Amino acid sequence: MSELWRLSGSQIANLVRLGEISATEVARDALARLDAVNPQINAVVDYRPQETLARAAAVDAAIARGEPAGPLAGVPVTIKINVDQAGYATSNGLKSKADLIASGNNPVVDGFLRAGAVIVGRTNTPAFSCRYFTDNQLYGPTLNPRDPAVTCGGSSGGAAAAVAAGIGCIGHGNDIGGSVRYPAYACGIHGLRPGLGRVPTCNASGPDRTIGFQIMSVQGPLARTIQDVRLGLAAMAGRDMRDPWCFEAPAGTGYNPQLAAVCLHPDGIETAPEVEKAVLDAAQRLRDAGWTVVTLDEVPPLIEGSLIMHTLWVADYPESKIADAEAEGDPGAIAAMRGAVELVGPVDVARFSATLTRRANLVREWLLFLEKYPVLLMPVSSELPFDTDIDLKKGYRYIYDHQHFLAGLPAFGIPALTVSTGMAGSRPVGVQIVASRMREDLCLAAGEAIEARGVPPMPVDPVSA
């Protein structure tokens, strides 16, 4: 068997466009890799090889006709099961939605197809996509290919595990409280949460989401190289009027001041020694690359942002949603929903309005801060990646207290990138890079400089349970 699955997406696209390999060869290799490793990790839960091969053949035919192949020509990608892909169930990990077949594509799917990508399968998510752990009653758990005792993260855990194991080069994910960044962290790859509005989304198979979800949830790419993250973002972003929050970013100046701040303990948040060491290492890597990096003791409020995120989330999860989780019989979803409700308390109209107002105040503080410090380095999580299902053992408050670095930023609508930098035993370590609105390019530029100085081995063969 060939090992094209080890190549990056940018390498594959170049070789396909040059005619040195065909998209069909790449697709066959990707499907063989899926068959070889997916039974051990259960990352891809819905795939149709003949459709994948037909799509690859169409890419090859377009190239043969001399038509533009696209920046992702022949690149294998995966799509998360909570967005519409025509002919497939938008199940969101729920038995009750196992037959909710989409009649059209979410804009992110259309974006990948326009770019020439080949979809090899759909990836797992926790029930309702509301945990940092990936398991559900429909498809079962997804295991971390680096260590099955460690969570693969959530909710884009299937996407991260697939990419880490070499099933596709780019995984689609979405992030409302860390659901791209945390799986990337846990599986030892990279993941970008774009800013609000940068990537259009719309699931016509269901009703529009409520306001808290609309202003916090975004679609983003996961990949083994920063260049592939960049290509994934370019494919997913674009004009699409199905999403009322979407905008076209203006042509950037390309200006990169190479100025970053690093903050280890905003709001006094404690971190594990390995986490602190990884962030300091990333800061030094930037200095070695010629950046100016200053150390700060404090940044604008982060824990308050985390509470805002949870408040807006809880406001959109009435008792009927908890009843749905109980009907589904998923212990993780029930614990997450009930835990968040207990943490936040009642949210009436007055509190909801006050929360949105305070959000505006904090967005202003963060944007002004990022005018002075264009890039911010900080931890991804207070701890190394969690043990599997630790939320069911230690409770929701434990998770909340250790994930402010992830949950605080979505309230402000700014981009953030997880960059994996190494390993602490069997658990990956890394850094989170934050920038201002429409400056995903700065996250990626800093991430590329950090990546160039060392990452954990990837892709990996799954470790047996």
In a domain, 29, yes or no: yes
Mean pLDDT of the chain: 96
Helix (H, G, I), strand (E, B) or coil at 207: coil
User: Region 421-437: what's the mean pLDDT?
Assistant: 98
Task: Give the three-class secondary structure for 422.
Answer: strand
- The arithmetic mean of pLDDT across residues 76-100, rounded, is 98
Q: Please state the φ and ψ torsions of residue 425, each to the nearest 5 degrees.
A: 70, -125
Whether 350 is covered by a domain: the verdict is: no
Q: Does a structural domain hold residue 459?
A: no
Is 353 inside any structural domain?
no
Q: For 107-132, what is each residue's pLDDT tens digit?
A: 999 999 999 999 999 999 999 999 99
CATH number of 266's domain: 3.90.1300.10
Q: Is 460 within a domain?
A: no
Residue 155 lies in a domain: yes
Average pLDDT over residues 136-153: 98
> How far is the C-alpha of 228 from the C-alpha of 248, rounded, in Å?
21
Report the catalytic residues: 80, 155, 179
- pLDDT of 319 strictly over 90: no
pLDDT in tens, 55-73: 999 999 999 999 999 999 9
Q: Do 116 and 70 touch, CB atoms closer than 8 A?
A: yes
* Contact predicate 216/193, CB 8 Å: no
For residue 138, how many other CB atoms are within 10 A of its CB?
Answer: 20
| Confidence category of residue 464, pLDDT binned at 50, 70, 90 | confident
- Asked, for residue 456, whether it belongs to a domain, the answer is no
Domain-located, residue 458: no
Domain range enclosing 418: 4-251+260-298+369-451
Q: What is the pLDDT of residues 240-266, one digit of tens each?
A: 999 999 988 877 667 999 999 999 999
Tallying the residues shown for the chain, one arrives at 465
Both tokens assigned to 128: 């309702």
Q: What is the pTM of this model?
A: 0.98
The set of residues, in sequence order, having a beta carbon less than 8 Å from that of 244 and lying 6+ positions away, is none
Strand partners, 192: 417
Number of folded domains that form the chain: 1
